[in-house]
Amino acid sequence: MATEYAGKAAVLGGGIGGLTTANALATRGWHVDVFERAAAPPTTGTALGLWPEAVEALELAGLVGQAQRLGVLQKSGALMRWDGKVLGRFSDIRTPAILLSRPVLLGLLIRGLPSDTVRFGSAAPELADLTGYDVTIGADGIGSTVRDQIFGPSYRPVHSGYAAWRGWVPGATTAMSETWGPGALFGITPRDGDLTNWFAAVRAPAGGAGTVDELRARFGDWHRGARDVLDRLDPADVLHHDLYESPALPSYVRGNTALIGDAAHAMTPNLGRGACEAMVDGATLATLLTEHPVSEALRLYDRARRRRTQRLVRASRMVARVATASRLTGVRNAVIGTAVRFA
């Protein structure tokens, strides 16, 4: 019979990746403490698409059934041009994604843990102060202090050249679409709570105001579906972010510390993989920690996840460039249309 290992883990960051890791470890007998600087979980947020590998990570944590009941399945979709011309349709997706809002997913992950696991309002301790733990997991996001302590400021994420708005409007939808136009894109998806989720991105330098007036001006002459969302949105429900991506780290591991999620591989959202890959990181790391001694588990984790996720960072950047191209869009659209028809 294979040896099963259990120990004590400190998870620094109570986001999706950190909580997925905590659940996967706790179900296998590990003692886990999660340090989260926010005073409480968020009560608002946009939808995330949980692709098959992320669903498997939830299954490892014993939570996939609840996620399927709470979320909305993405079974079809369309890729469109800015004026509404359909470039391609995706129907009867063999393994649909689960669309679930961030607050609902975080609530699900928190409820899966013993009540004293997550320490809200607790900033992550310095690594040197975390004595008594077998492993420390840096899940503290794009501005990771854990990454800074291990590798220094030269490996902080850099601006990708894009900014994004995200939000939701009242009313359910069954349609999913992403629209590509010169220098910008606009997406619409279902989400839980009888709401419609939307997102938009533009090529832009860092530091822009990103006002709702700017959003409406930028997309106000796009197709009717985009205009309908813009007409119905509440400015209080609109989020604006500059988008960043990570340079390639030399390792996701140092000593008994591992980095997961955006702390390791922040990427643009064009593949919809950011939260998914954080969850897969956590599930992979938890599995290895239960099958191997810590030092071996961390070495195998770095081997399993670093090159794959760094390829996804590059691939997402490439998709962003193609989706927001301003030149040769006719050729791009013809190629995309052909590829979708024969997919």
The string of pLDDT tens digits covering residues 247-263 is 999 999 999 999 999 99
- The answer to whether residues 124 and 35 touch, using CB atoms and an 8 Å cutoff, is yes
Q: What is the pLDDT of residue 61?
A: 83
What pLDDT shows up at residue 287? 97
Q: pLDDT tens, 186-227?
A: 999 999 999 999 999 999 999 999 999 999 999 999 999 999
Rounded mean pLDDT of 31-45?
95
pLDDT at 114 over 60: yes
Domains of the chain by residue range = 8-74+98-158+245-322
Residue position matching structure tokens 């989720």: 197
Q: How far apart are CA 165 and CA 229, in angstroms?
A: 12
Mean pLDDT of the chain: 93
Residue scoring higher pLDDT (103 or 174): 103
The domain defined by 8-74+98-158+245-322 folds into FAD/NAD(P)-binding domain (3.50.50)
Q: Kindly indicate the confidence band of residue 88, based on its pLDDT and cuts at 50, 70 and 90.
A: confident
CA pair distance 235, 295, nearest whole angstrom: 49
Q: Which band of pLDDT confidence, cut at 50, 70 and 90, is reported for residue 76?
A: confident
Of the candidates 318, 189, 325, the residue with the CA atom closest to the CA atom of residue 245: 318
pLDDT at 3: 74
Interatomic CA distance for residues 321 and 182, integer angstroms: 10
**Degrees to nearest 5, angle at CA 305 with 156 and 270:** 65
Average pLDDT over residues 310-338: 86
The predicted pLDDT at position 1 comes to 45
The SS3 assignment for 69 reads helix
For the segment 265-278, the average pLDDT, to the nearest whole number, is 95
Residue 145 predicted with pLDDT over 70: yes
Percent of the chain surpassing pLDDT 70: 97
Contact 10, 99 (CB under 8 A): no
Give yes or no for residue 343 having a pLDDT over 60: no
What mean pLDDT do residues 4-10 have?
93
- Token readout for 234 is 């509440």
The residue written with tokens 């979980």 in the block is 41
Q: How far apart are CA 88 and CA 322, in angstroms?
A: 15
One-letter amino acid identity for 74? Q
Flag the least confident range among 47-56, 162-171, 326-335: 326-335
Residue 333: pLDDT band with limits 50, 70, 90 = confident
pLDDT score of 336:
73
Beta bridge pairs of residue 245: 158
In eight-state DSSP terms, residue 235 is G
pTM for the full predicted model = 0.94
